[in-house]
Amino acid sequence: MKRNKFYQYAILLALPWLGSNLMTSCTDSFEDLNTNSVQVDPNDLPFSAQCTEPMQYCYPPQQNMFQFWTNLTIDLYSGYFMTPNGNFTNGDMGENRGHSGGMYENYYLHIFNNTRRIIADCDQKGTLGLSGVMRVVQAYGTLMTTDAYGPLAYSSILSGEYESYYPFDSQQQLFVAMLKDLEKAITDIKGMSEGEKVTLATFDCWCNADTELWVKVANTLRLRMALRLSKREAEMKEAGIDLKQVATEAAANTLATVNTDIVIDKSLENEMWLMFNWGDCGFNANLVTLMTGMKDPRQPLYMTKNIKDVTNLEGKVVVPANTQYLGIRFASGLPGKPNNWANFSQWIDPQNTIGVYSMPLPIFKAAESYFLLAEAKLRWDIGSASVQSLYEDGIRVSMTNELSYRGKYAGVDAYAAGAVDEYINGTTTQVDFEDPVDPKLNTPAVNKLCVKWDEGASNEEKLERIITQKYFALFPLSIEAWAEQRRTGYPHLFPAYVDESNGGVNKEEGVRRVIYSSNAYDTNAQGVAMGRELLNKENSSKNGISGDKGGTHLWWDNANKGNF
């Protein structure tokens, strides 16, 4: 493939959406930009700039791409966030191809387009340690994207054999490729030369040129993938990958050895605040009722109480301002903005008086590694630490790191004395959801377990506790939270009140994947058609849903097998 071939493909992939949805609201001169015959070859940019872009766009620091990336889809499906703007149809399971391409286009344009080219160039030059770093970034971005959609164009792009279209790989093929890449990356990063380390320091916004930390990130990612595939262990062994062995190797050196969160602290814009400021995002009732019921000390670090008086449908004030944590039920059939639901809980520092707009961008939470290790111990008896100790240590690390990360933006200096221990030993559970505006949206709690560990519980209940606490610790990384919720079923999410999917999603089961966007069809129709065939082959839905639908199961989301 010519050097610019895939770069041109990536530009074509993005331009139809950019022209119709993004730039028309930001610049009147986009038509001139769109028709400019001069294209920038990314290889002409400084090497540090080439590497920085894919790393930063794993949590996009650009407001329109950020909204398109997850906030119109995955943020809602995960149970973390919900839009008060009823005009966003994905919020009512009304599959919208125009709003479903963000993860896909961000990956191809900003991540894969850069990493695959940098890796090839570095491999050719013999700077294998730098290739290894980019392989980790590429695997991180690929995992996010396949966890959203399923099959993707990957090996066909790397091979350079195709020009008019790009065949899709199955999800199993993608996981095999990612795991092999991470194994090579670890070897190559460990052997990085001193000269490469100097170069790494010019762009490394994840690990600040700490190669040992990069190895820990790669291992934590490998452990995450091994557990993601827990319902496809036999199939992966047939493909030559022993998931227990992968997990055992990875578990020996994860982020749990340093308790360091991977965040990008480069004074970039953290656009989540803006999603709320625009009136397009609120908190989801699932997260709010869980944290409220379990009396989670992190709740004021994650969200405010209701920012204004909340009135009911008769116009009576039922919740005075700043008195309750309030979330919005997913798929509630809300009207367009403005409305009363926009006065519910908000992102911390809603007036941006402290500077939350520049809050560091989260990439990997160290606490996740403890919950991964806890499940690996429970499932495969990996490691010497007990499941309970790993579970409780994960909670403690999350409490410590979230306070350090978010405390100044939330105006919280410390937890109350004994609060963390009280939480770990807590016996309260999720509260019922009661919508103060419209009581017809009320629904009873669906999670019945408390935080306190029960060694006599079944493996299923132990897993439910582990995943629920991982769910809190992952916040606001909704793609990972949603993937784990789909894989395990935990935490349980409230059922949709309305269903505008026209049969594309099962109301009780919820959304299982993001559909391919209209733009994907426009730019790679033959490849997407192959992707649909792979979806049908890998699908295990028991509700008669198949093809490019939100209710189709991804390969690892195996409805034919339980958690144990």
Query: Of 66, 502, 62, nearest to 280 (Cα)?
Result: 66
- φ, ψ (nearest 5 deg) of residue 317: -70, 120
Buried b (16+ CB within 10 A) or exposed e, 506-532: beebbbbbbbbbbbbeebbeebbebbb
Looking at the DSSP assignment, which residues form a beta bridge with residue 283? 81
Say what the pLDDT of residue 18 is.
36
pLDDT at 80 over 80: yes
The top-level CATH class assigned to 42-274+355-538 is mainly alpha
Residue 198 has pLDDT above 70, yes or no: yes
Predicted structure pTM score? 0.94
pLDDT (0 to 100) of residue 27: 26
DSSP character at residue 303: -
Strands 168-169 and 152-153: antiparallel
**Structure-token match 């499941």, residue found:** 387
Q: What is the pLDDT of residues 439-453, one digit of tens each?
A: 999 999 999 999 999
Domain residue ranges of the chain, discontinuous segments joined by +? 42-274+355-538
The residue type of 9 is Y
Under the banding of pLDDT at 50, 70 and 90, the label for residue 22 is very low
**Residue 515 confidence (pLDDT) above 70:** yes
Q: How far apart are CA 250 and CA 368, in angstroms?
A: 14
pLDDT at 172: 98
Residues 405, 373: contact at Cβ < 8 Å? no
CB 463 within 8 A of CB 56: no
Q: What is the dihedral of CA 543, 546, 548, 549, to 10 degrees?
A: -10
Which conformational region is residue 388 in: left (phi greater than 0), alpha (psi within -120 to 50 degrees), or beta? alpha
Tens of pLDDT, residue by residue over 334-352, are 999 999 999 999 999 999 9
